[in-house]
Structure 1
Amino acid sequence: MKTVKGGYALYGVLALVAGIVLGIVFSPQVPDAVQPYLPIAVVAALDAVFGGLRAYLDEIFDAKVFVVSFVFNVLVAALIVWLGDQLGVGTQLSTAIIVVLGIRIFGNAAALRRRLFGA
């Protein structure tokens, strides 16, 4: 199992800061066709990030697994929302995805809290 050394984690933080700064400076517009999928993609990405943080603290983090999980979560969530839109039940499927991913995020957050604070 691979672990990330402290120096490599700095690259991720720097990339995050650079992305936030670029987003603020250029203020990109989201196309109308993508807008229904963006909130679901953000929640799916947050699920992968919290899972990655948990794996990092448990010292079982693998960068390949994280990247695949991140991309796969976003794509599957977007695909389910698209399929729901095609079937005319997009709102119900979006809600289901948010509930499932929300449960996973809060589960990972609770594990992080227990690991960091022993509570």
Structure 2
Amino acid sequence: MIAFIGLLLGVFLGLIFDVNIPEKFSPYMSVAILACLDSVFGAFRASLNKKFKPDIFISGFFGNALLAAALAYLGDKLGIPIYIAAVIVFGGRIFDNFGSIRRILLEKYKNRQRGD
């Protein structure tokens, strides 16, 4: 639940403050944001499964973001779009986590309807 509150707080602050990121940093930020979203969805899934651990979430959140930005930077220096690999992996994981979250929530809803 901490991850979800942090996500809402981040969206709220992003809407209030006018933050402009220079165009040359866009690939790094987009991949880092995608990595962070992957961590948030993973944390929400872990929370629903009663397996959430804050230290795992925090280390994954910042570690994934830094690794993704570093891959984008390395690819930029080499002239190879390596960041696309991060986009594919994190995008796939986000959709996997979303599917799992959806199934967990639907199962809980069905159990509540049955009175289990």
Of 17-26 and 62-71, the range deviating more from structure 2: 17-26
> Residue type matched to 1:63 in 2?
P
State whether structure 2 residue 106 is matched by structure 1 residue 110.
no
Q: CA deviation at 1:20?
A: 3.5
Structure 2 gap ranges (5+): 111-116
> What corresponds to 1:24 in structure 2?
15
Q: CA deviation at 1:36?
A: 2.0
Structure 1 gap ranges (5+): none
Instruction: Report the identity percentage.
Output: 37
State whether structure 2 residue 54 is matched by structure 1 residue 63.
yes
> What corresponds to 1:37 in structure 2?
28
Q: CA deviation at 1:35?
A: 1.9
Q: Deviations over 1:6-48 (max 9, x none)?
A: xxx4x962x5555434333331221344222111011101100
> Residue type matched to 2:21 in 1?
V
| Paired residue total | 108
| CA-based RMSD | 2.2
